[in-house]
Amino acid sequence: MALSLPLSGQTQTVGLSGDPLRIFATCTGRLSALMEFQWMFDGPLSEQTEAERARMIDLIDAIMPPEKGRDVLAWRINAKYAQSRLLTRARFASDSHDATWAAEQSERMISECRALMLS
């Protein structure tokens, strides 16, 4: 499954297919952004997100070869940045259509990650 997201006027494909290590790293970044956003606007929900993020980190630790550390960090940072931008747009966009679109995309991306976890 792949998503196309317009970021800064450009379309970037973001999806959860391929290398499991990259998928887990991407989801860790997304969940990190959500957790930090929740710290500001919905503290109690951040605890659930923090636990989900910890499970993703455990998955990374279980399968990551040592030489992939830099790649994993880069994937996490890039995903966190993209998710953070969506959350910011959803919360602060002056155009309600844009805010709704960003909120829907953000939720869809987080839902993809949560679907990877059994419980």
Cβ-in-10-Å burial (0-12, 13-18, 19+) of 58 comes to exposed
Q: Characterise 9 by phi-psi region: left (phi > 0), alpha (psi -120 to 50), beta (else).
A: left
| CB-based contact 117:22 (threshold 8 Å) | no
Span 11-64, pLDDT tens digits: 344 456 689 999 999 999 999 999 999 998 887 899 999 999 999 999 999 999
> At which residue do the structure tokens 């279980």 appear?
62
Consecutive H or E run containing 12: strand 10-15
Partnered with residue 14 across adjacent β-strands are 3
The pLDDT tens digits for 66-116 are 999 999 999 999 999 999 999 999 999 999 999 999 999 999 999 999 998
